[in-house]
Structure 1
Amino acid sequence: MNKKFGLLVVSMSLCVYAGFTTVRANHEAPPAPERAQVVSEIQHLLSQSPHTNQFNTLRKAYAARDFEPVWVARSGAGARLDALHRRLAKADTDGLDPRRYSVPSHNGLLPSAESMARVELAAALNFVHFAQDLRAAGADAAKMRPPQSKVPGGVDAATLLENASNAADIYKYLEELSPQHHVYQGLKASLHRYRQLRTAGGWAKIPNGSQLKPGQKHPHIVFVRERLFATGDLLEDETYSDQYDDQLLAAVKTFQRRHGLKDDGTIGPKTRAAMSRTVDERIRQILVNMERSRWLPNDLGSRFVVVNVPGYWLEVFDGARLALEMPVIVGKKYRRTPIFSGNINRIELNPYWGVPDSIARNDILAKLKEDPSYLEGLRVYMKGTGYPALELDRYDIDWSTVSSARPFMYYFRQDPGPQNALGQAKFLFDNPFNVYLHDTSNRSLFAKQQRALSSGCIRLAEPIRMAEYLLSSQPGWNRERIDDVLAGGANTRISLN
């Protein structure tokens, strides 16, 4: 988290309730302030507050509700403030640091309109800050995201406060501020489980040694069994056995798939290293993934696709049910697949490939400079980018004189066919990066463990299965019709309902 922002929040919170004093329970409480006095004090304190984004947001939000308080009741702190205290105190269950949220303590009695207003605004600041953190909408979260990313917009403070004010069950409302989709909730459950594992002592490191294969007996098998039982990959507690049996093989393969390793059941150096990562390392990994999952829309829809970019894996969900999964190829280190979300709205069978400008300038041009016949047999045609855009013969151009600088003067398009870089299918959705899912003509790359090999788009290992699933609810479409269209070779575009 950005320390500068954290300090700014603390200093603003102190500004709101500096000088606040509580009334001890064994003292006689003064008369409760009139609500109009509290409203007036809230308005006054906000008018005197710094002109920062946080206070400007709060001024606008309270003005929209005529400066009526949300968190303090007429007689003092009230149930809403108590609920906020309890929820902020367990912020760590969402992987957030409770120390970031500083609502002043109280004993239920507030002696004056001013003290009530100060506590009200301190609570509101920390409430909005907490909600922003849970929706990855704050300044800290924005700095954690990669440069190429597009995530849902921020949270509106006025709406948050109004919803909190109207909530019949305020604690339930505060609980449901966190993303409710199963991706996030699954990570939240994992965080709890791994913290329990840490309390219990974690697991032992797998000793270095030779490869362990099914059927072997070896003292290190006991360590493997203990490790996999701890994380639930091995369901039965037979950690005493040094035999690599079929049950252990299934557990090892599950572990390898979960960690992006080749699931051959052989326990070699990479699998040993992954098993030996400490529970603290795994907790840090869960925390990072919880932050990333906060970048997703809160409502993922009834059917959705999740691409795990660093894991080279795609999953399709129908509600909470895993309907389909497959390996994928993602962007290279210098052409990363961006982080974003969008609705798949069209499938193209036997697609054309309109070569992106960056690939044309940086890849194809370099190859044409070396060999003007490079595109021979690939069914690629080219035209100028001027008006009118006329089709050109690549042999009429002296490529050695062509610059890769923008604006590039040529556009390339590849016709459907066996050589097409997009293979037999592509899946389109609205996004500002011109990224989509597609097949590939080079299927051998799926045999690699590290599959950051594309120019940013996501290549699917089983695109026709994906098409069949997405079209299963589309009238008139089934696997037989898909196969007929592919065999015919004609470019076919299907809009999804």
Structure 2
Amino acid sequence: MCRTDFQFKMTALGVLFVLAAALSAGRAARADRFEEDATWSDGFLQEERIGLTETMRLIAGQIEVLLTQKTGASAFVCRGEPICAIQLLPAFYAQRQYQPLWLDEQGLRPTALSLIRAVFSATDDGLDPSDYHLDTMIAAQEAVGSGRVSLTDHSPEQWAEFDIVFTDAFLLYCSHLSGGRINPQTLHNDWVISVPAIDMMEVLNEVVTETQLDRAIDRLRPSHRGYAELRARLIKLREIQVQGGWPQVPDGDTLEPDIRDARVLPLRHRLLADGDLPVTEFPEAPDHFDEELVAAVKRFQMRHGLKADGRVGRRTLEALNTTVAQRIRQIELNLERWRWVPGDLGDRYIYVNTADFRLEVVEHNHVSLEMPVIVGKPARRTPVFSSQMTYMVVNPEWTVPFTIAVEDMLPQAVGDPEFFDRLGIRVYFGWDEKAPPIDPSYIDWRAYGSNNFPFRFVQAPGPSNALGRFKFMFPNQFAVYLHDTPHRGLFGRIERDFSSGCIRISDPVALAEYLIREDPSWSSRKLRKILDQRKTEVIHIAKPIWVHLLYLTTWVDSDGTLQFRKDIYDLDAELAKALGRRRTHAVYGGIAGRFGRVSGNVN
């Protein structure tokens, strides 16, 4: 069912009014040029105008009939296409006396042809042109045929339906291009992204010619470099797909460096296909796993998040044999995720890609600091959101979250009387700050569980503290933050999804020093002195910095390398399923982000 929220109604109607005014100005300009070039007598020209105006009047009358009958309706079909903007269109067309927006006496306006071309190219953005009434718009283009709108082959009602379909296609396509097809918060309860509105009236104020319409649509795309580069790689992969894709490497035992094997030749061709193996003359022994091929395998492994050992084992073979169609789909899914990201990440921000287990500090589009991180395990996954980091705590206490206390610590306490003393954990009866401390040795921990657990655990600062020596705070509803860890060995793993949702960082001192570098009241020496004293200290960050936690399973890195990662939370499959639903049940739930967000997104 299509539905629209009030914010989108106001925004989208304003967009359409401006677009209509611009198109009217364009029509007047074309009429002036036509009159200057006319060779017919004034009487003949006037007669022609009267006839053409009558055609448009009849079409306008049918638009009025169609829309006034559907005012307040929740479902409306034109030319066999569901119209999602039905709650918006009556008021919009009424303001323009129901005159067609995309048609005039000469046929389809240039903006209509431009819209057809834009929708036809929607695949470049990972969108499906058939979702935006492409076939019906092409049918309208073919119906014009001779270059004029005729009532001989098509009735005024049919032309009216064509115009309504074009308007709906424009709104739905712009909505999805700017804010995404899916509202992420209806798909994931731990995905909270707020996309600011964009003033579409300003963007579309000069939409008169097809070039201007193209530019207006282009400005609706996410402005992030990451989106543009991933989009360009999608286009290249489609070219590879048209040429037949890339070869598969036959299954078998692990391919080791320096061996000779018949499977080495298809491996060589596979790595040539996407550029990991440079194009050079073939070696005399193409079935030899030589040093050049080993280096190519390592490049492939590094950009797929695999152990770069140059051996082609099970996981590397699986990645090699992922088809180009599967990689195209993976890019399409991540382009959708980019459309959910706020347009302005800030001049200076901390960026964590959970799927890459990596943190970057970005200043003016350049990475100034990066480090590996440990993220939430699939059962307690790290959420996606943005917030400002405002302070950090040196030598922090750790108030153990309820879930960890009950599910992880309680079973250990049952079988280990020294558990709390060994880890430096104090036990309080109640979660109130005034709750009294109690001696855990007097508690029969077997009598408690998730439905009966009044205790609060607090771990003192020290070498065994789970937060290590630092925690970095940015307020959020998930109580997630960045922190140090005493368990350094896990950073050597390739996949690092071991935490309970918070993000453990490998070099907290480097991050802390970065955050205080512009604060004259702090220095590296002072910071390290507090660390040595094991004194808890709260440091307010002089210039708060945005933190963006995202989840991308493919992206183009700062070196221009296309990266792919394992979908550790199985979110790609979930998103693909949601995107696969036909938009018959779509809502314009996204014109309100980017131009407010239209609620045309799939719930």
Q: Structure 2 length as normaliser, TM-score? A: 0.67
* Superposition map of 1:42-441 within 5 A: 45-49=66-70, 50-52=72-74, 54-55=84-85, 58-59=88-89, 62=92, 71-72=101-102, 75=105, 77-102=108-133, 104=137, 105-106=140-141, 107=144, 109-110=148-149, 118-138=161-181, 140-142=182-184, 145-153=187-195, 160=200, 163-167=203-207, 169-214=212-257, 216=259, 218-240=261-283, 241-242=286-287, 244=289, 246-383=291-428, 384-386=430-432, 388-405=434-451, 408-441=453-486
- Rate the CA distance shift 1:343–1:213 in 2: closer, same or farther, 3 A: farther
Residues 164/115 of structure 1: CA separation in 2 closer, same or farther (3 Å cut): farther
User: Does structure 1 conserve the Cα–Cα contact (< 8 Å) formed by 2:184 and 2:191?
Assistant: no
Structure 2 SS opposite 1:341 = strand
CA deviation after TM superposition for structure 1 residue 91, in Å = 0.6
Name the residue aligned to 1:20.
Answer: none
How far did 1:63 drift?
8.6
* Residue 181 (structure 1) shift: 0.5
The amino acid across from 1:164 in the alignment is L
The runs of 5 or more residues in structure 2 that have no matched partner are 4-47, 76-83, 544-603
Deviation at 1:268, TM superposition (A): 2.0
Distance 2:457 2:440 in 1: 10
Deviations 1:330-381 (Å, cap 9, x if unpaired)?
2222212223333333333323322222222322233223334312132322
Question: Do 1:439 and 1:461's aligned partners in 2 also have CA atoms closer than 8 Å?
Answer: yes
Aligned to 1:18: none
Relative contact order (C-alpha < 8 Å, sep 6+): which is higher? 2
Distance 1:411 1:198, change over 3 A: same
- Indicate the residue corresponding to 2:26 in structure 1: none
Equivalent residue of 2:169, what SS?
A: helix
Shift in Å, 1:191:
0.9
Q: Going by fraction, where is strand more abundant, 1 or 2?
A: 2
Letter of the 1:179 partner, please give it: P
Query: What's the offset of the Cα at 1:322?
Result: 3.9
Change in Cα spacing, 1:51 to 1:489, as seen in structure 2 (3 Å) is farther
Give the match's secondary structure for 1:310.
Answer: helix
Q: What amino acid sits opposite 1:97 in the alignment?
A: D
2:100–2:160 contact (8 Å) kept in structure 1: no
TM-superposed deviation, 1:144: 7.9
Report the secondary structure of 1:326's partner residue: strand
SS in 2 for 1:361: helix
RMSD over equivalenced CA pairs, Å: 3.7
- Rounded Cα–Cα distance in structure 1 between residues aligned with 2:342 and 2:438: 45
The Cα shift of 1:225 comes to: 3.2
CA contact (8 A) 2:111 2:213 kept: yes
Match of 2:507 in 1: 462
Spell out, residue by residue over 1:13-55, the C-alpha distance to the aligned partner (whole angstroms, 9 max, x if none). xxxxxxxxxxxxxxx7832369999888767654432533944
Cα distance, 1:282 vs. partner? 1.5
CA distance in structure 1 between the aligned counterparts of 2:163 and 2:385, rounded to whole angstroms: 36
Is the Cα contact below 8 Å between 2:272 and 2:278 reproduced in 1? Answer: yes
How far 1:189 sits from its partner (Å)? Answer: 1.3
Counterpart CA distance in 2 for 1:233 and 1:36 is: 62
* Per-residue Cα deviation, 1:94-120 (whole angstroms, up to 9, x for no partner): 111100111632336556997776444
Q: CA deviation at 1:195?
A: 1.1
Distance between the aligned counterparts of 2:346 and 2:94, measured in 1?
Answer: 31
Structure 1 unmatched ranges of 5 or more: 7-27
Paired with 1:60 and 1:388, the residues of 2 have a C-alpha distance of 61
AA aligned opposite 1:489: R
Q: Which moved more, 1:53-62 or 1:188-197?
A: 53-62
Relative to structure 1, the CA distance from residue 209 to residue 149 in structure 2 (aligned partners, 3 Å threshold; closer, same or farther) is same
Using the TM superposition, name which of 284-293 and 240-249 deviates more. 240-249
CA-to-aligned-CA distance 1:166-192 (integer Å, 9 cap, x gap): 447221110222212122222211211
More off after superposition, 258-267 vs 307-316 = 307-316
Distance 2:61 2:438 in 1: 74
Give the number of aligned pairs.
469
- Partners in 2 of 1:282 and 1:481 — Cα distance? 49
Matched, 1:32 2:30: no
Larger Rg: 2
Residues 300 and 438 from structure 1, CA distance in 2 versus in 1: closer, same or farther, beyond 3 angstroms? same
Give the 3-state SS of the residue equivalent to 1:342 in structure 2.
strand
Supply the distance in 2 between the matched residues of 1:205 and 1:494 (Cα, whole angstroms).
Answer: 55
- Secondary structure at 2:375 match in 1: strand
Corresponding residue SS for 1:440: coil
- In the other structure, the counterpart of 1:495 is 541
AA of the residue aligned to 2:129: P
| Whole-angstrom CA distance in 2 between matches of 1:52 and 1:469 | 54
Partners of 1:198 and 1:280 within 8 A in 2? yes
CA distance in 1, matches of 2:97, 2:426: 65
Give 3-state SS (helix, strand or coil) of 1:188's partner: helix
Q: Secondary structure at the match of 1:126?
A: helix
SS of the aligned residue for 1:377 comes to helix
**Aligned-pair distance for 1:409?**
1.9
Letter in 1 for 2:204: A
Letter of the structure 2 residue corresponding to residue 146 of structure 1: H
> Is the 1:46–1:55 Cα contact (8 Å) retained in structure 2?
no
Report if the CA contact (8 A) 1:34-1:74 is conserved.
no
What TM-score do the two structures reach when normalised by structure 1? 0.80
Higher mean Cα deviation, 286-295 or 85-94?
Answer: 286-295
Pairwise CA distance, 1:261:
1.1
In structure 1, what residue type is equivalent to 2:512?
A
Give the percent of matched residue pairs that are identical in Structure 1 and Structure 2.
Answer: 34
- The equivalent residue for 2:20 is none
Which piece of structure 1 moves more, 217-226 or 436-445? 217-226
